[in-house]
Structure 1
Amino acid sequence: MSSKEWTAWDLTRRISPREQVRVMKRDAYGRLDENSYPSVHRVGPHSPTTPWAMNLADERGFFRVLCFDFDGKIKGEVDVDLMEQAHDECDALSRVLDSLSIAHVVCQSSGTGGRHIWITLRDGAAAERMIALSGAAHANFGTLDHGMLNNPRTGAARPPLSPHRDGSSSTVLWGDLDALTDPATTLDDLDALTVALDKRKPALRAADSAPAGPVNEHHRAHRALSRAGTAHMATVGGGSNPSWTGFACLLSAANAGWTFGDVEHAAKSAPGMEHYRTKNNGRGSRHSRSKGEARARLERQWAKALQFAAVQRPLPASREPADLTELNALVTDVDVLLSRLAASPGRWGRTEKAISQRTILLSLAYLTLQTGKRVVAASTRDLALMGGLGRTTAADALTALARDGFIERVTPSDDGNAAEWRLLREFSTTPGTVRPQPLNNPRPPSELFNLRASLVTALENQLTDQRHDLFTRAGLGHLAGKVYALLRQIPALTVETAARLLGVSTRHTATILSRLRRHKLIVKHPEGWARSKRDLRDHAAVSEGVSGTLADRAERYRAEREVWAWWHAEIDRMTTAPRARTRRLHVTSRTLEFTDGRPGERSWPLYPRDSEGRGDHRMARYWAVNGMLAPGSLWWSSAA
């Protein structure tokens, strides 16, 4: 029987692992407004009268059917960017399956454009095997809803050709339905798929990942990039996943200090930025974007890349962890920490100080996971910039967290070296408590790395969502940022639910939601409040008069660091024998270049002095703020 001859119910009768399916139930008005399947219908000659979902595992808990669900919706509403990403990721997984000769069928799940990839198995797959596969797949594809693959008891999906509650139906895009009724995929094939996905999954820092396809060796970016960034820019056609490659290009450019004008220029011709010139038409090919659409998408993605780059900037060079047992303990501790933060919202949300402490604790947890080390070096200013806080607020938060036993300062800052901090393990286990993952029973490496990647993604999303000019103290405040970040994790929130999760009063919560609504950052939802489709934080920051606050703060901290280094160089000069001192010109000398490009010690000018011969730090700061100390810059002073 060919694909065109199958009906939805006939196909379900052939491939369903169980004797019944889950079906929707109409409400009192005959409508199907709720996306749930509370009733059952026996698999037999008569089809259900409402949409149905088929279990993926049999009664014994062995998976007989696999469904990879790529969803581009937020709170039930289609997000254009996410939907296109879902299409790209579905195509990428389909290519991996083709390379392994695994028969599959790709369907458009409904009229909204979601994607399903269906595979049937010759033998049942145990839940443990599926957890490894779904974890590897989710690490590769951010839009994949892998929950059903982890749930042998109730995991279900609407089968191919079946109706949707909006009146549309699942349609086959490519693949032969006969391959589902006559399964040939073995458990060895599943293991091979897991291995392949583990090998190709991105690095914890997307910009450092291997390219997603062949690279054009002749392409050269017009500005310098890291080695990985250069490879992403030169990836032919964006590789197997153009949307992912395009964002990796933007993230690499943001880390390299590019401007929007630079990435706009690169998007015109860079092979890796194909995603910003063409779009997936949903059927395996691409067509050109209009200029307005291309620019709007590039602007949105560039703003997102800048947020991620700001959070990742304090990270040291990436390295592979040598001790998986210690990494397992770190991942477990951070996992428990996030659970504890969610379980005691009042401790971390009742006051502004508590919110700042929570942000700093999340930043340290993020650095711990990224580095794979128990002890991490982090300056107060770096942590402040990661969380969108001021340096004094960050310093107070570190002191309070250390006093309360959540972190420990291992070594203080000295001579330009940042202080070293350690997350204490007592916050997750009290004396005499059995650990959830004993050190002598670590997770399998693939599961460990997948959980680590999942936690890193969760922390990055929380930090980037609440790190914005709008959510600074002069704007809507840090609690508003916390609410905005929370709405990524939960589809919709009522005032009461938000108050409980934040640990504040309903009156305070209503005030915060009102401010967010005033700037159209949230919209009314049948179940409360949800994020708006468009990210209007930049526009709201302009309205509040706080646009550029974090950029100004970062520039101020840069100048402070430079003055500090300059003063230390001056102290070294003063404590050195006169004959051993290098000759230095004054900072106000005309046509002065402070660096000659030679390796070794940096050549600093003489530190400015006041009338009494003491260091004039205010004047030094003036020169630093105005860029006079920038290596390679030629400056002259109007006061010279």
Structure 2
Amino acid sequence: MSHEAWTPWSLTRRLSPRDQVRVMKRDAYGRLDENNYPLIHRVGAVEPTTPWAMNLADEHGVFWFLCFDFDGKIKGTVDAELMEQAQDQCNALSRALTELAVRHVVCQSSGSGGRHLWIALRDGAGRDDVAAVASAAQVSYSQLDFGMLKNPVTGAARPPLSPHRDGSVSTVLRGDLDDLALPSTTRADLVALAALLDERKPALRAQESRPSGPLDERHRVHRELSAAGTAHMATIDGGSNPSWTGFMCLLSAANAGWTLLDVQHAAKTAPGMEHYRTKNNGRGGRRRRSSGEARARLERQWDKALQYAALQRPLPARKTPEDLSVLDGLVGAVADLLDRFRVNPGRWGATEAASNQQTILRAVAYLTLQTGKPVVAAAIRDLGPMGGLGRTTAANALIALVEAGYLERVSATDEGNAAEWRLVSTLSTGPRTVRSHLLNNPRPPAGDSSSDLPENSPADAGSPAATRAATALFNARAALIAQLEAELTDQRHDLFTRRGLGALAGKLYALLKQHPSLTVEASARLLGVSARHTATILSRLRLHKLLVRHRDGWARAKRDFRDRAAQALGVDGTMADRAERYRVEREVWEWWQAEVITMNTSPRNRPRRPYASSRPLFAVTAPGERVWPRYPRDSFNRADHRAARELVAAGLLNPENRWQYLGDVA
């Protein structure tokens, strides 16, 4: 039967795994404002009068359809950038399915531009088979709503051609509806799809991921980048997912110390930055952006890349997990911690100190998952900036968390090494604390950044069951890391520092990314503070035009005026100045330690080193080494630490500075 032969209801009657569908209910005024389906309608000759949703599984929990829902909304409000990412991600999944010869149908779900990608199963599939695909897709595609794929009881979606509450209909863009009516996809195809998605999923540190397409070997970056960043820059036409590739280019550039002018220059010609020159036209092609739109999008994404780069800078080098059973426990502990944040907001929002403790605890949890080790080394000059806090605030929060039993200090700061910390589970019971652990220690999945066999793995670690368990574990870990990254970066802004509007204002602004609107009472409940305090925060955000009135309370303004508000309050550049101050303090400390070593060396073996402000003659290129000049002294031949800070801050110890002399190795 051709597309034209199907009507919306006749197609639903042909496809529905159950003898009923769920339908919307009009309110007292006859409107369809709520996006839910509370009523039941029998699948018969009479078509519903309101939009309907079809279950993906039958009454026995067997899935007969998979619907991948890609949307670019922030809790009901369309975001143009996120919607374009959703369309790119849907196209990327569609190309992967085409590679596997899996027949599918791509629909524009409504007038807002979202996408539904449908797959019909010939013999059905169990919950575990579909969950494996959903978990892999969840990690690979940030704009995917995967909930319906993990819920065989109530998971449902509007079928192709069906009406939407905004008056539009689900329109077929690619594929044949007959492939849904006469399915050919098997469980083996789902296993192959899950394996392909796991193989191509982003690394835990996304900028280290493999390119999403072939490379242009002729392209050369104008400034040094990592090998992965260079590959992303050279990805022809942005690969299968241009918006993701473009952001990977920016993230790699941010980690390499590029400036906005550098990325603007690269965006003119770099194949991997196609996303910042053209846009998805919604029909599989691309069209050129206006110069203003391209510049604005690049600047917004660059700011986001800088936040992610600052968060990831303290991460140590990657290491192979030694024991996946330990990693399994860490994933459960962090999941329980995030649940505690959600169900007990009053504990973490009652005071400014408690709010700061929650931020530091998130940072420690993030480092724990990234390293895969229960004990992590973390300096206060790293933990503080990860959450937009200062080093003193971070130190006070760590002390309070140890006293409260949330953290354990394994070792103190010693000879320049950061203190080591361990998360302590404070839940006596919980949904994950008594779950079964891995029976063996399998090889990490091939798509993970750590692909070597752990040292403690048994001989049967490569069994299919063990591999599936490891894949699920690594996907759960990646999902938690993505959640923590979003929570930590959303509130990292100069405006939400202590001299600005404060950390609670940042958390409330971040919450409004997860909710279309919030009332004063709802905001107070989520923050764990009084309604009066919440009203004050909302008033300050509204004063700087960051919020707008909504029929259900307050919502985010469409334009982001945080930078302008930070300038008005005189806090613009606060975090950059703080990061530079910490860099100077670290370098002065290293310089002084080199000086101490020299003073403790016999006079005959001491190197002869000119003063710091002498003109340079050469620079050391050997990795891991640093050449230090003589430490400044006062008139009494005592160490002059103030002069040392001034010299370091002025850049006179930078090997690239033409007025700095490197001298002999200290």
Q: Under a length normalisation based on structure 2, what TM-score does the superposition of the two structures give?
A: 0.93
Displacement after TM superposition at 1:598 (Å):
5.0
Alignment of 1:213 onto 2:238: no
Change (3 A) 1:416 1:186: same
* Contact 1:221/1:230 (<8 A) preserved: yes
Change (3 A) 1:487 1:434: closer
1:563 maps to which of 576, 581, 588: 588
Displacement after TM superposition at 1:424 (Å):
1.9
Displacement after TM superposition at 1:636 (Å):
7.0
Structure 2 CA distance for aligned equivalents of residues 542 and 327 of structure 1? 43
* Contact 2:333/2:433 (<8 A) preserved: no
Structure 1 CA distance for aligned equivalents of residues 26 and 315 of structure 2? 52
Displacement after TM superposition at 1:315 (Å):
0.5
Displacement after TM superposition at 1:490 (Å):
3.4
Structure 2 CA distance for aligned equivalents of residues 34 and 632 of structure 1? 61
* Contact 1:608/1:620 (<8 A) preserved: yes
The residue that corresponds to 2:481 in the other structure is 456
Letter of the 1:392 counterpart:
T
What SS does the aligned partner of 1:64 have?
strand
2:533 maps to which of 484, 508, 530: 508
Deviations 1:42-69 (A, max 9, x none): 1111211111111111111111111111
* Contact 1:595/1:602 (<8 A) preserved: no
Letter of the 2:239 counterpart:
G
Structure 1 CA distance for aligned equivalents of residues 434 and 527 of structure 2? 26
* Contact 1:593/1:632 (<8 A) preserved: no
What SS does the aligned partner of 1:444 have?
helix
Structure 1 CA distance for aligned equivalents of residues 26 and 526 of structure 2? 32
The residue that corresponds to 1:400 in the other structure is 400
Superposition misfits of 4+ residues, deviation over 3 angstroms:
438-443, 592-601
Displacement after TM superposition at 1:317 (Å):
1.6
Map 1:471-620 to 2 at 5 A: 471-589=496-614, 591-592=615-616, 595-597=619-621, 601-620=625-644
The residue that corresponds to 1:633 in the other structure is 657
The residue that corresponds to 2:322 in the other structure is 322
Letter of the 2:598 counterpart:
R
Displacement after TM superposition at 1:438 (Å):
4.0
Map 1:171-210 to 2 at 5 A: 171-210=171-210
The residue that corresponds to 2:280 in the other structure is 280
The residue that corresponds to 2:427 in the other structure is 428
Deviations 1:64-116 (A, max 9, x none): 11111100111312111001001100100000111111111110011111100
Structure 2 CA distance for aligned equivalents of residues 249 and 328 of structure 1? 32
* Contact 2:332/2:433 (<8 A) preserved: no
Structure 2 CA distance for aligned equivalents of residues 511 and 466 of structure 1? 18
What SS does the aligned partner of 2:116 have?
strand
Letter of the 1:605 counterpart:
P
Structure 2 CA distance for aligned equivalents of residues 238 and 308 of structure 1? 21
Structure 1 CA distance for aligned equivalents of residues 143 and 133 of structure 2? 16
Change (3 A) 1:80 1:613: same
Map 1:239-318 to 2 at 5 A: 239-318=239-318
Deviations 1:602-640 (A, max 9, x none): 221111111221111111111111111112312279xxx
Letter of the 1:16 counterpart:
S
2:492 maps to which of 453, 461, 467: 467
Displacement after TM superposition at 1:486 (Å):
2.2
The residue that corresponds to 2:646 in the other structure is 622
Structure 2 CA distance for aligned equivalents of residues 311 and 477 of structure 1? 19
* Contact 1:69/1:146 (<8 A) preserved: yes
Change (3 A) 1:258 1:56: same
Deviates more, 1:62-71 or 1:213-222: 213-222
The residue that corresponds to 2:168 in the other structure is 168
Displacement after TM superposition at 1:588 (Å):
3.1
The residue that corresponds to 1:59 in the other structure is 59
Letter of the 1:586 counterpart:
Y
Identical aligned residues as a percent: 66
* Contact 2:613/2:652 (<8 A) preserved: no
The residue that corresponds to 1:89 in the other structure is 89
Deviates more, 1:482-491 or 1:250-259: 482-491
Letter of the 2:488 counterpart:
L
Deviates more, 1:327-336 or 1:32-41: 32-41
Displacement after TM superposition at 1:170 (Å):
0.8
- Report the count of equivalent residues: 634
Change (3 A) 1:433 1:222: closer
Structure 2 CA distance for aligned equivalents of residues 633 and 561 of structure 1? 19
Structure 2 CA distance for aligned equivalents of residues 594 and 600 of structure 1? 17
Change (3 A) 1:472 1:347: same
Deviations 1:463-502 (A, max 9, x none): 1011110010000001111112222333432211221221
Structure 2 CA distance for aligned equivalents of residues 439 and 103 of structure 1? 37
Change (3 A) 1:473 1:585: same
Displacement after TM superposition at 1:522 (Å):
2.5
Structure 2 CA distance for aligned equivalents of residues 502 and 598 of structure 1? 50
* Contact 1:517/1:523 (<8 A) preserved: yes
Displacement after TM superposition at 1:205 (Å):
1.2
* Contact 1:67/1:117 (<8 A) preserved: yes
What SS does the aligned partner of 2:53 have?
strand
Letter of the 1:371 counterpart:
T
The residue that corresponds to 1:27 in the other structure is 27
Letter of the 1:513 counterpart:
L
Structure 2 CA distance for aligned equivalents of residues 448 and 364 of structure 1? 20
The residue that corresponds to 1:150 in the other structure is 150
The residue that corresponds to 1:377 in the other structure is 377
Change (3 A) 1:295 1:507: same
Displacement after TM superposition at 1:524 (Å):
2.6
Structure 2 CA distance for aligned equivalents of residues 191 and 599 of structure 1? 45
Displacement after TM superposition at 1:129 (Å):
1.6
Q: Under a length normalisation based on structure 1, what TM-score does the superposition of the two structures give?
A: 0.96
Letter of the 1:110 counterpart:
S
What SS does the aligned partner of 1:592 have?
coil
Change (3 A) 1:497 1:101: same
Change (3 A) 1:236 1:504: same
The residue that corresponds to 2:435 in the other structure is 437
Displacement after TM superposition at 1:297 (Å):
0.7
* Contact 1:594/1:605 (<8 A) preserved: no
Change (3 A) 1:577 1:599: farther
Letter of the 2:629 counterpart:
P
Structure 1 CA distance for aligned equivalents of residues 560 and 320 of structure 2? 35
Structure 2 CA distance for aligned equivalents of residues 594 and 394 of structure 1? 39
Structure 1 CA distance for aligned equivalents of residues 29 and 310 of structure 2? 51
What SS does the aligned partner of 2:64 have?
strand
The root-mean-square deviation of aligned C-alpha atoms, in Å, is 1.7
Deviations 1:189-242 (A, max 9, x none): 111111111111101111011111111222210000111111111111111101
Change (3 A) 1:466 1:4: same
Structure 2 CA distance for aligned equivalents of residues 15 and 348 of structure 1? 48
Displacement after TM superposition at 1:530 (Å):
2.6
The residue that corresponds to 2:114 in the other structure is 114
Letter of the 1:436 counterpart:
V
